[in-house]
Amino acid sequence: MADLNADFEAAVANSKKLSQRPDNTTLLKIYGLYKQATAGDVTEKKPGFGDMVGRAKWDAWNGFKGTDSDDAKRQYIELIQSLS
């Protein structure tokens, strides 16, 4: 468990040092996995139509609804490693 958390924290740090900026779809997946890993299922109300970015982020996070925190961390680590 401690190894997973350490690997996750390392992946978070590495996500800020990627040589190329990922496309928006990948960025939303990174965001969704991070939020699911750190906060669990989304409990906030979906933003209104005027907030396109907020809606996209909410949808990305909500797409991982029901995913266990540890599983989300593993997926996040794998995704960041694949981009490095």
Per residue in 14-43, pLDDT (tens digit) is 999 999 999 999 999 999 999 999 999 999
Q: Which pTM does this prediction carry?
A: 0.91
Q: Element (H or E) spanning 41, and its range?
A: none
The answer to whether 9 touches 40, Cβ cutoff 8 Å, is no
Q: What is the pLDDT of residue 2?
A: 72
- Could you give the domains of the chain? 2-83 (1.20.80.10)
What average pLDDT is seen over the chain? 95
Identify the pLDDT of residue 84.
Answer: 85
Sign of CA dihedral 61, 4, 26, 12: positive
